[in-house]
Amino acid sequence: MLFLRFYDDLVSNLFMSQLHLSHENTITFARRGNKAKQQSLRSAVELGVAKFRKKYAGATSTKVNIETSQPAQETVLQAADYVLWAVQRAFEKGEMRYFEYMRDKIELILDIYDYKVKKIGSNYYDRSKNPFDIKKASPLS
């Protein structure tokens, strides 16, 4: 249950500062598990939308559609799942090999839970200025 709350928090934070980049957004997430899990994830996305609308009050015209789909029907979901799994594996197990395989496909990693951030922006990892390595990040526990 704690993992689901953590995941939901990540999802809501993800969308609260990205939706203003387009006039219309369609968020499609993989349909998995039971209806309660689906509703929890939908609520997390909706919370992110609400945080976004509060942060960017002038962007209320941004349209947000939330959809679910089976990963087998959406190859983009399969690709996104794999990339996110590679990042997750780096954080959870300290294993970089899958991340290295996908490194050139990942533009930015923002570690919003890094508690040892010494200066603003040091928890942002990009391909050129601050490439990601798990040794730079704070441990999860």
What domain count does the chain have? 2
Domain match, 104 and 126 both = yes
Count CA atoms within 13 Å of residue 94 on its CB side.
6
- pLDDT of 86: 92
Domain match, 78 and 135 both = yes
pLDDT tens figures, 11-65: 777 777 677 777 888 888 777 667 767 777 778 877 877 887 787 776 666 787 8
Q: Which of 69, 102, 120 is the last residue of a domain?
A: 69
What does the alpha-carbon distance between residue 6 and residue 69 come to, in Å, rounded to a whole number?
22
Domain match, 91 and 57 both = no
What are phi and psi for residue 41, nearest 5 degrees? -70, -40
Q: Residue 108 belongs to what domain range?
A: 71-141
Could you give the 3-state DSSP secondary structure of residue 40? Answer: helix
Domain match, 76 and 24 both = no
What's the pTM value of the predicted model, to 2 decimals?
Answer: 0.71
